[in-house]
Structure 1
């Protein structure tokens, strides 16, 4: 999709379709009012007949209105104007794209970007329009032998986004570039997440990282099993023992900041399939365990977005990747393994494996002397029970870092919610036979997962994002969401801006 920004009133635009908002109670937005006036009240007549009430998500396509050079007008319901917030704005954009896909229009001009969203400027509205549009157009049908042409109709090729002031044009272009970069990172994460485990193996994940590096000037290093053995990564390697697929430790280095500047480190869990090992999972919905590498996918997506925006910041991405399968050589409950840090772990449940591969990666990343470290993992089902699929769980040993991530989540509507990381929770990880156990009972499961990782992050500022509830959807809309790529990218954008340098 090609995007551009333009200043001008709707009645003068020659377009395949004008997109305007209508609030509940048939109240016209400013752009809809202007169209109504020039067409002799044609829009108002349609509303009075009851064909459109302005309900949120409701759409109505009008053709060849008098005195209007544009071929079509799409009315998009926005709900009550006082309740029109960030979520409703994105829903309105998605509804508009859904309707436009069913038309023959190749170009549309959207005036939804002029709607008032409390606390959000035109930059925010344009960037979110691009992101929401690309998300609405996303399809994953690479593995289908026959494409459904009706569902993949893509007449729409160009979207013009309206701004009320010419002074907003330059800012709008920057918002488009950022929106496309973030949407590209989200698409990469969704594509990787949606691939089945027989295709997206640790080796495949490493190959995609190398390809990303070649395209975006990112240095990529892939550590093999022998390298990990030399480093003493006993926790990570213990998880991989039950699989025929060799594990990989993937390291990406994006150097957009000053030489010697401490990097931001992103560490993503890359379990390309998790059957639970000897502590095997129930058969129902086990296919969704291909999504257990969505933390890794989000790191790749965020690094891709940062590189395309050309953020003036240094970023290191570390992805520990393996499978977790039952086998005669797999971890057994009661086994004790030694992590890279030298700490020993009693493996009471082999399905609590994400923290085992992450702890070695979190130790490894310390060699980069990072400014901060954020790990991203589909870590616990307990987080899904606590927060559902609306917010990612957040734990941190730095309140300032937690606030940065929370604020980035609010701005991108890719929200997180902070959980406590009190010392009292550490007692649940006590073991009679090792330095710690890898589980701590049913209580506070999401917090205990973070508490385990906290033992490996005492030397730097660290935050943990549990994305088990947000990384994918189940049911009819099953598929990867690409979250939290928007949150992570905005976090990096804010960090770069804090250094006093604006992104290109």
Structure 2
């Protein structure tokens, strides 16, 4: 992290301290000039006429300047209006940019003058969530993954105070910090190099963090996987010297829940592509091919911290997909725990193979619904871009609720067609199914493959997060590191259960 941050909403004015910054957000377009003049006068801040003119113009959104007339030392004036250009992530991204931008500045205190939440009521369901987006943005921008840098600075102390005395801000700070600590853990897992984060290490770190929250963490080892005939999972793992595990997480709320939901996450801690080998450029970020697993782990961690009232089961097939004399090959036929057989047409379509056994296992636990998460296909990124997850389901309720949570949290998700016609491309002359369909509609045929291993009586959805889970340049907080996508989305979704 860049800073050791303390958040508050008190009557104290941190802008009067040394090494301080004042951020003022203007959101009333009609009275902008009057509000600006009143603000400058009340703070005894002198803004030169040129900067003032620029700020009041339509073109300029923000001005930053050194305050030579006293405290604070620096001032940032920014405009965000509830107009057609506004989206629910604007304040989150604003705060993220603020924190990132102060990395090399000598600032220890920030006073934030919040806009009136009433101006943004149509965008946020509650004032608490409006404030929570500011908290999330601060912590998202503060994240770094620099543990392997030999020269790194210790985090500086940074105190941030919100000027508003609304009691909902205090709740927003607490909720946001608990949630983002789980997002950070998911990020740490998906950014960790594969040389250290093996399947065994993933299990070890998950146990270390979740057991102390009261989450049960167990695992099926290779011998147990063989006993249960999880040969699809084992086939993918066979090329690696690092043994596979099926990691099982169980979170039960204090009061008995009427709902039990299974979350299944693809945990390929490194994907070389196997004998269908990837080019080097495509391999570099494949330590992040377990982002589905980290989303599940982060979600259950956050659920435990926030004491959600829904029972959760996490099922994570953890493997490496490597090349050796033992590795599975194109043309192989492998059996699954369900009894169905699979013709392997491509060893780089390995995620669906390990999920086949994991989904079958989850189905036997008889949950009320199953959601799986996977960086499954490049085809989904081609279809929806880097910042949107793909949703495959036949259940309209799950679809509607997930899309609603995606719009609210800005971890957006889009439903793809899921007609049975797409299953035609998976037919095999020598097995029950093949693991690869035709070139067209690849994200959808991957979902149709998974569907074969889910109990048809259990509502199910597949989330392909191959784009948004990996680093991309859409937002300030997604540029440098794998993103922890899915945790904020799922906590909002599960909070409604």
**TM-score (normalised: structure 2):** 0.90
1:160 matched residue in structure 2: 161
Asked whether 1:21 is paired with 2:32, we answer no
Asked whether 1:37 is paired with 2:74, we answer no
1:315 matched residue in structure 2: 312
Match of 1:396 among 393, 397, 407: 393
Q: Could you tell me how far apart the structure 1 residues matched to 2:221 and 2:344 are?
A: 23
Q: Could you tell me how far apart the structure 2 residues matched to 1:54 and 1:194 are?
A: 40
- Deviation of 1:102 after TM superposition, in Å, equals 4.3
SS at match of 2:9: strand
Match of 2:466 among 465, 468, 471: 468
- After superposition, the Cα gap between the structure-2 partners of 1:362 and 1:31, relative to the gap in structure 1 and judged at 3 Å, is farther
- Deviation of 1:239 after TM superposition, in Å, equals 0.5
Is the Cα–Cα contact under 8 Å of residues 273 and 323 in structure 1 kept in the other structure? yes
Is the Cα–Cα contact under 8 Å of residues 39 and 65 in structure 1 kept in the other structure? no
SS at match of 1:146: coil
- Deviation of 1:310 after TM superposition, in Å, equals 1.3
Is the Cα–Cα contact under 8 Å of residues 257 and 313 in structure 1 kept in the other structure? no
Superposed counterparts of 1:210-229, under 5 Å: 210-229=207-226
2:78 matched residue in structure 1: 76
SS at match of 1:492: helix
Superposed counterparts of 1:206-245, under 5 Å: 206-245=203-242
1:359 matched residue in structure 2: 356
- Deviation of 1:176 after TM superposition, in Å, equals 1.5
- Deviation of 1:486 after TM superposition, in Å, equals 1.0
- Deviation of 1:40 after TM superposition, in Å, equals 6.3
Match of 1:90 among 83, 89, 92: 92
1:134 matched residue in structure 2: 139
Q: Could you tell me how far apart the structure 2 residues matched to 1:296 and 1:319 are?
A: 6
The alignment's C-alpha RMSD in Å is 2.7
SS at match of 2:65: strand
Match of 1:346 among 343, 347, 353: 343
- Deviation of 1:274 after TM superposition, in Å, equals 0.5
Q: Could you tell me how far apart the structure 2 residues matched to 1:365 and 1:401 are?
A: 18
How many residues align? The count is 483
- Deviation of 1:257 after TM superposition, in Å, equals 5.4
1:502 matched residue in structure 2: none
1:498 matched residue in structure 2: none
Asked whether 1:442 is paired with 2:439, we answer yes
Q: Could you tell me how far apart the structure 1 residues matched to 2:43 and 2:179 are?
A: 39
- After superposition, the Cα gap between the structure-2 partners of 1:86 and 1:259, relative to the gap in structure 1 and judged at 3 Å, is closer
Q: Could you tell me how far apart the structure 1 residues matched to 2:35 and 2:92 are?
A: 18
- Deviation of 1:143 after TM superposition, in Å, equals 1.0
Is the Cα–Cα contact under 8 Å of residues 101 and 154 in structure 1 kept in the other structure? no
SS at match of 1:480: coil
**TM-score (normalised: structure 1):** 0.88
- Deviation of 1:28 after TM superposition, in Å, equals 3.8
2:182 matched residue in structure 1: 185
4+ residue runs of structure 1 moved beyond 6 angstroms? 23-27
Superposed counterparts of 1:349-428, under 5 Å: 349-428=346-425
Q: 85-94 or 358-367, which moves further after superposition? A: 85-94
Uncovered stretches (5+) of structure 1, i.e. residues with no partner: 496-504
Q: Could you tell me how far apart the structure 2 residues matched to 1:31 and 1:320 are?
A: 56
2:114 matched residue in structure 1: 112
Match of 1:335 among 332, 346, 354: 332
Uncovered stretches (5+) of structure 2, i.e. residues with no partner: none
Is the Cα–Cα contact under 8 Å of residues 278 and 332 in structure 1 kept in the other structure? yes
Q: Could you tell me how far apart the structure 1 residues matched to 2:35 and 2:303 are?
A: 35
- Deviation of 1:61 after TM superposition, in Å, equals 3.3
Is the Cα–Cα contact under 8 Å of residues 276 and 350 in structure 1 kept in the other structure? yes
Q: Could you tell me how far apart the structure 2 residues matched to 1:299 and 1:33 are?
A: 49
2:281 matched residue in structure 1: 284
Q: Could you tell me how far apart the structure 1 residues matched to 2:272 and 2:178 are?
A: 34
Match of 1:491 among 470, 490, 493: 493
Is the Cα–Cα contact under 8 Å of residues 62 and 76 in structure 2 kept in the other structure? no
SS at match of 1:369: coil
- After superposition, the Cα gap between the structure-2 partners of 1:80 and 1:43, relative to the gap in structure 1 and judged at 3 Å, is farther
